[in-house]
Amino acid sequence: MLLAACWSTKGLSHALIECGRKESWHLITAEYCVAEVEKNASKYPDGLSRWRRAILPRLEIVGSIYVIDRPIVFETTKDRPVLLSAIGANADYLITSDKADFSHVLGTVVYGVNIRTPKTFLLEMGLVE
């Protein structure tokens, strides 16, 4: 979701970041996610500058978690820290644009964390139709 917000100012991921400011949401991300964005945002025109100028300042960075003391089945190794860090941070939601790797948990609640796409989250919040 963060990468998608870097790539385009017209998509729902970017709209979610903007709504976060307007709605006074507490937006967090893990150090792991920051590193992934830093590595990949520059592949797109203005991606890295948009990330550093418009998105990163609106986020609280939390430590990454790689292991939890509860059973969890999540095959995609590269995305496990994303989910585990959201659980460890007691996040209400994990918003992801990665439908492929998160397909088996999208629309569910994993240890108290609601897993949604930007669209389903914004629909639930009544901010898009």
Residue range 87-101, pLDDT digits in tens: 999 999 999 999 998
pLDDT at position 53 is: 93
- Check: CB of residue 113 under 8 Å from CB of residue 92: yes
Residue of 50, 52, 78, 43 whose CA lies nearest to 64: 78
CA distance 94 to 40: 20
pLDDT at position 77 is: 77
Q: Domain limits of the chain? A: 2-90
Q: How many residues does the chain have?
A: 129
Q: Output the pTM of the full model.
A: 0.90
Q: pLDDT class for 112, splitting at 50, 70, 90?
A: very high
> Which 3 state secondary structure label does DSSP give 63?
coil
pLDDT at position 76 is: 65
